[in-house]
């Protein structure tokens, strides 16, 4: 079945257009869904894009987590009927809703940070076998609240279930284990559980060599499980 990608637009989303463009450039049929819908139309793949939903007021993603469409998303996930990707603010929304474990808190610097980073696949998600352990992507981050945190009691489960998908690695490609652009626990950049994946970096911004990297093409293709073009 050809994938049908739906990008959810919350009030204050601002990477929605970039994300639509990125998927369209991969040849995927892509539409925008409004946050106040109560269904997902016939989407096979749902993307929660980056941005500042509701201004990121209160906490990043907290208010969008209650949008009407989120119930439809929860239902579709439990039916196994959908694949979900949360990018940046989308990742924050998924955590706030409890769809992914943990929470994204203010960067330890207390500052927004926009920079190119290297991330590496730590645990390949069962659902997306194309991501192989040790695979590296050069992707930008742009966030103020990207420090991944999780309660003590849930940490073991996170490892045990193979949810630790992506981590930041040193810009020189050396795995020193010390490099950490935002103070995430274990330098975590992305989590995946079942059909849901969330990450802070922006693959949709890395689609062309002249923008700094085209690793985002490979990343999104693997998520779509389509042959990259």
Partner 1 sequence: MTPDAVGLTAKEAERVRQLCGREPNDLEWGLFGALWSEHCSYKSSKRVLAWLPKEGPQVVAGPGGNAGVVRLDDRMEVAFKVESHNHPSYVEPVQGAATGVGGIIRDIVAMGARPIALMDSLRFGLEGNGQRLRDGVVAGIGGYGNAIGVPTVGGEVYYGPGYAKNPLVNVLCVGVRQSKDAIVGASGARPGQMVYLLGQATGRDGIHGASLLASRDFSADDQDMRPTVQVGDPYTGKLLMEATLAAIETGGVAAVQDLGAAGLVSASSELAVQSQVGLELHLDQVPCRESAMSGYEIMMSETQERMLLVLNSAHGGEALAAISQWGLNATPIGRVTASGRYVLYFGEREVANLEASWLVDGCPLTPAGKDLVAPAFKPMRPSPGSMEEGVEEGFDAGALMAIASDPDCRERRPIFQRYDSMIQTATVWGPDHEVSVLTVDGSPWGLALAVSGIGRWAAVDAYAGGAAAVSVVVSRLATQGAVALGLTDGLNAGNPDKPEVKQAFEQMVLGIRDAARALDVPVTGGNVSFHNETDGAAIWPTPVIGGVGRHFHPTAPVADSLNRPDVTLLLINPALSPSLGGSVWERQHGVLTAYPRVRLSDLAHTVTWLGTAVSDVDADIRAVRAVADGGLWLALVKMWLASAPSVGMTVTLEAVHAMPRLLSEEAGQFLAAVATTRVEATLLQLQSNAIGCLVVGQGHDGDYLELQVGRPSRWTRRWSRSQMRAAWQSWEGDSGGSGTP
Partner 2 sequence: MTQFRLRMAVTLKPEVLDPAGQATQQVVHERGFPEVSELRIGKVVDIAMHAHSAEDALAKARRLGNEFLANPVLERFEVWVQSDET
Report if residue 152 touches partner 2, rule: CB under 8 A: yes
Report if residue 27 touches partner 2, rule: CB under 8 A: no
Footprint of partner 1 on 108-127 (CB under 8 A)? 109, 111-115
**Single residue of 34, 74, 108, 157 touching partner 2 by CB under 8 A:** 108
In sequence order, the 6+-apart residues with CB closer than 8 A to the CB of 229 are 26, 27, 217, 221
DSSP bridge partners of 196: 84, 193
**Single residue of 4, 37, 59, 136 touching partner 2 by CB under 8 A:** 59
Q: Which residue blocks in the chain are alpha helix, DSSP H?
A: 16-25, 68-78, 89-96, 152-160, 215-224
Report if residue 32 touches partner 1, rule: CB under 8 A: no
DSSP bridge partners of 219: none
Is 143 an active-site residue? no
Rounded distance, CA 72 to CA 76, Å?
Answer: 6
Residue from 22, 6, 61 nearest 228 by CA: 22
Is 204 an active-site residue? yes
Question: Which residue lies nearer to partner 1 by CB, 78 or 115?
Answer: 115
- Residue numbers of the site for partner 1 (CB under 8 A)? 11-12, 14-15, 17-18, 21-22, 50-52, 54-57, 109, 111-115, 140, 142, 144, 202, 204-205, 207-208, 210-212
Active site residues: 88, 202, 204
């Amino acid at each position: 079945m050809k994938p049908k990608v739906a990008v959810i637009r919350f009030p204050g989303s601002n990477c929605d257009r970039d994300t639509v463009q990125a998927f369209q450039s991969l040849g995927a049929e892509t539409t925008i869904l409004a946050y106040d819908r109560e269904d997902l139309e016939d989407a096979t793949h749902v993307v929660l894009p980056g941005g500042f939903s509701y201004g990121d007021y209160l906490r990043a993603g907290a208010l969008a987590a209650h949008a009407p469409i989120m119930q439809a998303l929860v239902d579709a996930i439990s039916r196994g009927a959908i694949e979900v990707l949360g990018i940046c603010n989308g990742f924050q929304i998924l955590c706030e809703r409890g769809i992914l474990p943990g929470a994204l808190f203010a960067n330890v610097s207390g500052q927004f940070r926009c920079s190119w980073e290297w991330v590496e696949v730590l645990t390949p998600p069962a659902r997306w076998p194309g991501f192989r352990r040790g695979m590296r992507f050069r992707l930008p981050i742009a966030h103020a609240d990207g420090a991944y945190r999780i309660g003590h009691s849930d940490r073991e489960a996170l490892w045990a279930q193979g949810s630790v998908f992506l981590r930041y690695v040193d810009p020189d490609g050396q795995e020193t284990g010390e490099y950490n652009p935002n103070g995430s626990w274990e330098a975590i950049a992305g989590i995946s559980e079942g059909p849901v994946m969330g990450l802070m970096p922006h693959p949709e911004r890395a689609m062309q060599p002249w923008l700094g990297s085209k690793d985002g093409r490979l990343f999104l293709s693997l998520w779509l499980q389509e042959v990259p073009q």
